[in-house]
């Protein structure tokens, strides 16, 4: 048996799989986020351990024999969090999370130093780890002076599991300290933030062994014999391992609260000015690119509150047959935008409203606006050297056939809907645990799920969609001029 542990923002999920990769069962423990000031987002790392213990206890209660047979554990986690430890591995302050924006000034200052984009291949975003440490140095100098180790959230769990300070490439690529092409820490960038390599964990690939489960925890969980802990992955790379998005040209689109267009690459293809994330993948000699939009299903949920109808009811009013764009354009920048604009201040808009603009017309515009934002991501990935021939759709928004037809038509590629199953980060982490424990070929393990159905582009509407996308593209610079 193999165990995947996924440390998310709202909870820890534990999943057991067999050697045949069939899911035995899963359990979870809940987490809360503390927001002591505007723009702050923190968690107590002790709560991660409690939630993990709850999740594992849930598995032990239902599947004691299967848990006892675990030989490998893989870790996945929320990225970018700054977990600060002293020389005795005591936590110095609550972890500053990925969605904490307090260090926006520090991020802008680091991003203005050309070394960061050149070495990491990425913009220094406020959510990344390095600017958080600069903020601590400036505002909490007494804490900064005691920092002996900086760990990412899942790697703090590893410290508890194994007693070792180890991280891996995919998660570390989101710190702004990694030389992403060389897959190693950059002493130059660490020095630029007042740190050194000795304050970082050692690095392994996500498929490699990164410690063993302590005897105490193994006994408490009812496991005998050695249990290997895999390097693991950041959450999106772990999801990609679960989805089989690991080979050149493989891609998925995620329609969750935010939207992600994720493509695996066999080579390192940075283009930071596009606001595309170029990170190491969890598999050796593999990288990935990722475009992120901040409001996907979030945009439809916002409109559903305004319209007084559920998102499902609104989508249902459109039916299942894709319609030509109406001339009403929606910009989904409700909380700013990441790719390709890197603009925290821009906000959304409806453009082209008329007396004839019904509720269904506005719903259609909202879905198209998110579609065109994802198309922006595709163009950004193309500009960075990535070509995509098809995508797999995941996330809550992928339940809308209308939306998937819209995406297929705008992107000009087929959209695959996977057969029912849980192929998320916990499953990907369990796969990495299996690989680390058995030495199995990563590509043979990280296969794609069966495709339930494929949504093809609607060729008759491709020209109309191109015209509407042109309108959408022209709207951002005009809106930006008004906003500033």
420 catalytic per annotation: no
Sheet with 251-255, edge to edge strand ranges: 277-280, 287-293, 259-265, 251-255, 391-394, 415-418, 451-455
Max Cα–Cα distance, the chain, nearest Å: 72
Tokens 């998660």 -> residue: 171
Helix (H) or strand (E) holding 153: helix 153-162
| Separation between Cα atoms, residue 380 and residue 368, nearest integer Å | 18
**Alpha-carbon distances of 185 from 61, 120, 126, 204, rounded to whole Å:** 41, 10, 20, 11
Which residues, listed in sequence order, are joined to residue 291 by a DSSP beta bridge? Answer: 261
Nearest-angstrom CA–CA distance, 90 and 360: 55
Q: What is the CA radius of gyration of the chain?
A: 22
> Which DSSP string corresponds to 23-89?
EEEEEEEE---B-SSTT--EE-HHHHHHHHHHHHHHHHHH-HHHHHT--EEEEEE-SS-BEEE-TTS
Among the listed residues 235, 298, 376, 416, the single catalytic one is 235
Between strands 2-7 and 72-77, the pairing is parallel
Residues annotated as catalytic are 235
């Amino acid at each position: 048996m193999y165990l995947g542990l996924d440390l998310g923002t709202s909870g820890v999920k534990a999943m057991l799989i067999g050697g045949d990769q069939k899911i035995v069962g899963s359990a979870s423990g809940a987490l809360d986020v503390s927001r002591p000031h505007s723009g702050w987002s923190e968690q107590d790392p002790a709560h991660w351990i409690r939630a993990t213990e709850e999740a594992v206890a849930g598995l032990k209660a239902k599947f004691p024999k299967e848990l006892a047979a675990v030989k490998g554990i893989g870790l996945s986690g929320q990225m970018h969090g700054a977990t600060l430890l002293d020389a005795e591995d005591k936590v110095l302050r609550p972890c500053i999370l990925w969605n904490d924006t307090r260090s926006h000034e520090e991020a802008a200052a680091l991003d203005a130093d050309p070394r960061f984009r050149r070495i990491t291949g990425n913009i220094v975003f406020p959510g990344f780890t390095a600017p958080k440490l600069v903020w601590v140095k400036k505002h909490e100098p007494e804490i900064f002076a005691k920092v002996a180790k900086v760990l990412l959230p899942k790697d703090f769990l590893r410290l508890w599991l194994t007693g070792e300070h180890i991280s891996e490439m995919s998660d570390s690529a989101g710190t702004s300290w990694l030389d992403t092409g060389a897959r190693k820490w950059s002493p130059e960038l660490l020095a630029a933030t007042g740190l050194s390599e000795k304050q970082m964990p050692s690095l392994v690939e996500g498929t490699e062994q990164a410690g063993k489960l302590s005897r105490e925890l193994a006994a408490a969980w009812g496991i005998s014999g050695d249990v290997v802990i895999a390097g693991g992955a950041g959450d999106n790379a772990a999801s990609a391992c679960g989805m089989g998005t690991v080979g050149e040209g493989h891609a998925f689109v995620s329609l969750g609260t935010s939207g992600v267009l994720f493509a695996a690459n066999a080579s390192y293809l940075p283009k930071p000015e596009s606001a595309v994330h170029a990170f190491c993948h969890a598999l050796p000699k593999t990288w990935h690119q990722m475009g992120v939009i901040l409001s996907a299903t979030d945009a439809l949920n916002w409109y559903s509150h305004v319209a007084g109808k559920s998102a499902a009811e609104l989508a249902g009013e459109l039916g299942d047959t894709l319609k030509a764009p109406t001339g009403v354009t929606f910009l989904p920048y409700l909380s700013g935008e990441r790719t390709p604009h890197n603009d925290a201040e821009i906000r959304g808009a409806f453009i082209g409203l008329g007396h004839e603009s019904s509720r269904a017309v506005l719903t259609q515009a909202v879905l198209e606006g998110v579609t065109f934002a994802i198309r922006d991501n595709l163009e950004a990935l193309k500009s960075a050297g990535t070509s995509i021939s098809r995508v797999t759709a995941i996330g809550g928004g992928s339940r809308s056939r209308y939306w998937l037809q819209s995406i297929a038509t705008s992107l000009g590629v087929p959209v695959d809907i996977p057969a029912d199953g849980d192929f998320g980060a916990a499953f990907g982490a369990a796969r990495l645990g299996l690989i680390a424990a058995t030495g199995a070929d990563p590509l043979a393990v990280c296969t794609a799920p069966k495709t339930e159905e494929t949504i093809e582009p609607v060729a008759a509407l491709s020209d109309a969609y191109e015209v509407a996308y042109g309108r959408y593209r022209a709207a951002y610079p005009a809106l930006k001029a008004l906003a500033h």
